[in-house]
Amino acid sequence: MPDTQSRPDGLATADAVVSVRGLSKIYKSGFQALKRVDLDIRRGEIFALLGPNGAGKTTLISIVCGIVNGSEGSVTVDGHDIVRDFRAARALIGLVPQELSTDAFESVWATVKFSRGLYGRAPNPVYLERVLRQLSLWEKRDSKIMTLSGGMKRRVLIAKALAHEPRVLFLDEPTAGVDVELRHDMWDMVRKLRESGVTIILTTHYIEEAEEMADRIGVISSGELIVVEDKATLMRKLGKKQLTLQLQNPLEQLPEHLADLPLELSDEGRQLVYTFDTQSEETGIAGLLRRLSELGIDFKDLHSSESSLEDIFVSLVRSRA
Ligand SMILES: Nc1ncnc2c1ncn2[C@@H]1O[C@H](COP(=O)(O)OP(=O)(O)OP(=O)(O)O)[C@@H](O)[C@H]1O
């Protein structure tokens, strides 16, 4: 088995399908959009790149796909350098862009066939049929694109990106502006693509999307990749739990005897919220309950909750601001 465990620096040691090393981008305006990014994408994974607006997600993807030139550093796709070995690298990549720019008057079939031809690949109607069926577009193969719904147009973009049989698929904000139902359909579809052996890298604003789909998550902020981690590890490491106590009688303020604890009074004194680290061995809850009882503070209900990926993301990005 190849060793695909993360090294402490977040890089996979083997089986990386995309390797980014020391990648920086300074636009002509002088603006630095990427700062020495190192990243390995593992074969067969779904990797979500999260970041606020303007963080550098599209810049990073555009460099890997050969649309924008990097200023420093290197990128290889399956061992092919994206500059020296551009054609080979590009042939392995499919890109589903953010904006819906397709040839409105063409049929679905003509569009995907043309896309395949652009890469100089021999016709393969069997493969294209499989792609269209997988994307539930087969019935629409003869329809002009302009007659399709928004969701179908998006799927045509994916079919176009898959037409030349890439091994790595980049999806830039795949579900931006898409309704909830369609978003769930898209997620199912992306999972199916992964099952068919395609490595998926997606950028997203929707934390739920990363939480739902990604095997690993990278967080980018102001051009720096600040975290790359397995989703589960990220949530365990940085997640916090909260214990909320509904008090019998509201408190005006936190008693001094409790001031040293990570407690907050909310809901006009009716709620006491205790935050603890999911990683620490001692939650401190027993001690808290003992002290409350010493103070004669009764509660009628208690429940615990875990921080979401969204909480983690916000605190990560904020702590770097
Ligand atoms: N051609 C360009 N010239 C100068 N600056 C640019 C250019 N393209 C992008 N930038 C700047 O680089 C930064 C990163 O942009 P990028 O599009 O990569 O961010 P993003 O994370 O994809 O954001 P969004 O989520 O809004 O798409 C932004 O501040 C943007 O204004």
pLDDT digits (tens, 9 = 90+) for 9-25: 445 446 899 999 999 99
Which residue out of 29, 58, 69 has the highest number of ligand 1 atoms within 8 Å of its CB and is therefore the one to mutate? 58
Count other Cβ atoms within 10 Å, centred on residue 281: 5
Ligand 1, atom 16, lies closest to the CA of 56
Q: Which of 31, 34, 225 to mutate to test the pocket of ligand 1 (most atoms within 8 A of CB)?
A: 31
Q: What is the DSSP letter of 6?
A: B
Section 144-153 average pLDDT: 88
Q: Which of 202, 236, 270 is the last residue of a domain?
A: 236
Distance CA 15, CA 78 (A): 9
Residue holding tokens 């003992």? 290
In a domain? residue 24: yes
Same domain, 211 and 264: no
More confident residue, 276 or 248: 248
ipTM of the complex as predicted: 0.94
From ligand 1's centre to the CA of 320, what distance in Å? 18
State percent of the chain over pLDDT 70.
89
A 10 A CB-CB count for 290 gives 10
State pTM to two decimals.
Answer: 0.77
**174 Cβ inside 6 Å of ligand 1:** no
Alpha helices in 97-230 (DSSP H): 108-118, 125-134, 150-162, 180-195, 207-213
Task: Give the domain extent around 275.
Answer: 239-320
Same-domain check for residues 34 and 175: yes
Q: Domain containing 249 — which CATH number? A: 3.30.70
Task: Report the separation in Å between the CA atom of 33 and the middle of ligand 1, taken as the mean of its atom positions.
Answer: 7
- Of 236, 258, 280, the residue at which a domain comes to its end is 236
Same domain as 175, residue 219: yes
Strand partners of residue 80: 77
Pairing of strands 224-230, 216-221: antiparallel
Q: Are 170 and 93 in contact (CB under 8 A)?
A: yes
| Number of domains into which the chain is organized | 2
The pLDDT of 153-172, averaged and rounded, is: 91
Asked whether residue 72 falls in the same domain as residue 145, the answer is yes
Residue 310 has pLDDT above 50, yes or no: yes
Q: Is residue 262 part of a domain?
A: yes
Average pLDDT over residues 73-83: 95
- Whether 225 and 248 map to the same domain: the answer is no
Q: Is the CB of 56 under 6 A from ligand 1?
A: yes
Determine the Cα–Cα distance for residues 188 and 181; give it in Å rounded to an integer. 11
Question: Does 20 reside within a domain?
Answer: yes
Looking at the structure, do residues 146 and 294 belong to the same domain, yes or no?
no
Among 5, 6, 9, which residue's Cα sits nearest to residue 36? 9
In short, whether 244's Cβ falls inside 6 Å of ligand 1 is no
Same-domain pairing of 140 and 36? yes
Give tens-digit pLDDT for 203-241.
Answer: 987 777 888 889 999 989 889 998 898 988 877 766 677
Question: Based on the domain organization, do 121 and 89 belong to the same domain?
Answer: yes
Residue whose tokens read 């999972």: 191
Question: If residue 281 lies in a helix (H) or strand (E), which one and from where to where?
Answer: none
Does the beta carbon of 55 sit less than 6 angstroms from any atom of ligand 1?
yes
Residue 45 falls within a domain, yes or no?
Answer: yes
Least Cα distance to 37 among 70, 65, 12 occurs for 70
Does ligand 1 have an atom closer than 6 angstroms to the CB of 29? yes
Same domain, 245 and 187: no
- The answer on 251 and 206 residing in a single domain is no
